[in-house]
């Protein structure tokens, strides 16, 4: 299926102390690494930013939050609003271990589940990664039909992603649903860097590999 890659890169990175998207791992920024990985799985990649980040200078297509300062829900909304495909696959810019196998498996699963719904079922609206019983909304596939509910919540400043997902027709992907993806790759995929210690651990892991 045709799908747009959406990188959520508009956060303030307050705990990191510097822009997480521009942190380097083995000579490439996190944003560059995520962009290249998504390019291999999608037809188009959009980077969602704050107005003042200027990532468009890196020859990447960038759009700004329509509702700035409202967190990741705003980023998902802006990315899907800018896309022209029915589906968008969302990845946060601070997830260094997301691999192509994970993205491809999520897309295959989404296509399978979307096609297998019964006549009485509502159309599938999202497939979200679930690891060790915890959902990860910033590694997931979203249908453009979620846009009206996302906008309504943004207008009313009801920004919690978990509460929003409860109002949608969502299926959660676990390792049991992901043939071809090892448990180690699946668990690592949802790791996100929040602070300098996390970044240090990531650099150490890449040196080991």
pLDDT digits (tens, 9 = 90+) for 163-187: 999 999 999 999 999 988 999 999 9
pLDDT surpasses 70 at 53: no
pLDDT surpasses 80 at 54: no
Residue 114 Ramachandran class (φ > 0 left, ψ -120 to 50 alpha, else beta): alpha
The Cα angle at residue 147 between residues 144 and 148, in degrees rounded to 5: 130
pLDDT digits (tens, 9 = 90+) for 89-129: 999 999 999 999 999 999 999 999 999 876 567 899 999 99
Q: Which residue has the higher pLDDT, 16 or 167?
A: 167
pTM of the model: 0.93
pLDDT surpasses 70 at 134: yes
- Give the per-residue pLDDT at 204: 92
Q: Could you give all domains of the chain from N- to C-terminal order, each with its CATH number?
A: 3-208 (3.90.550.10)
Question: With pLDDT > 90 as the criterion, what percentage of the chain qualifies?
Answer: 79
Arithmetic mean of pLDDT over the chain: 91
Q: How confident is the model at residue 51 (pLDDT cuts 50, 70, 90)?
A: low
| Strand ranges of the sheet holding 44-49, from the earlier edge strand across to the other edge | 62-64, 44-49, 3-8, 87-92, 134-143, 126-131, 170-173
pLDDT surpasses 80 at 79: yes
Comparing CA positions, the residue from 14, 87, 93, 86 lying closest to residue 49 is 93
pLDDT surpasses 70 at 34: yes
- Give the per-residue pLDDT at 121: 75
Q: How confident is the model at residue 58 (pLDDT cuts 50, 70, 90)?
A: low
Residues 1, 61: Cα–Cα separation, whole Å: 21
- Residue 136 β-bridge partners: 129
| Per-residue 3-state assignment (H helix, E strand, C coil) for the chain | CCEEEEEECCCCCCCCCCCHHHCEECCEEHHHHHHHHHHCCCCEEEEEECCCCCHHHHCCCEEECCCCCCHHHHHHHHHHHHCCCCEEEEEECCCCCCCHHHHHHHHHHHHHHHHCCCCCCCCCCEEEEEECCEEEEEEEEEEHHHHHHHHHHHHCCCCCHHHHHCCCCEEEECHHHCCCCCHHHHHHHCCCCCCHHHHHHHHHHHHHC
pLDDT surpasses 80 at 29: yes
- Give the per-residue pLDDT at 137: 97
- Give the per-residue pLDDT at 21: 87
> 99 CB contacts (<8 Å, ≥6 apart)?
37, 185, 189
């Amino acid at each position: 299926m045709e799908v747009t890659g959406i990188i959520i890169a508009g956060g303030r990175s307050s705990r990191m102390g510097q822009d997480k998207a521009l942190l380097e791992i083995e000579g490439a920024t996190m944003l560059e690494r995520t962009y290249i990985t998504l390019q291999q799985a999608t037809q188009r990649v959009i980077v969602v930013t704050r107005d003042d980040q200027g990532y468009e200078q890196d020859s990447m297509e960038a759009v700004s939050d329509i509702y700035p300062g409202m967190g990741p829900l705003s980023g998902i909304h802006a990315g899907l609003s800018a896309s022209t495909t029915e589906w968008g696959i969302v990845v946060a810019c601070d997830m260094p271990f997301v691999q192509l196998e994970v993205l491809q498996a999520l897309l295959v699963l989404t296509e399978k589940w979307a096609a297998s719904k019964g006549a009485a079922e509502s159309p599938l609206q999202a497939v979200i990664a679930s690891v060790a019983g915890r959902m990860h909304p910033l590694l997931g596939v979203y249908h453009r039909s979620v846009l009206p509910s996302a906008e309504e919540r943004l207008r009313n400043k009801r920004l919690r992603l978990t509460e929003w997902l409860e109002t949608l027709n969502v299926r959660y992907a676990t390792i049991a649903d992901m043939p071809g993806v090892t448990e180690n790759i699946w668990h690592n995929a949802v790791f996100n860097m929040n602070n300098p210690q996390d970044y240090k651990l990531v650099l150490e892991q890449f040196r080991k590999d």
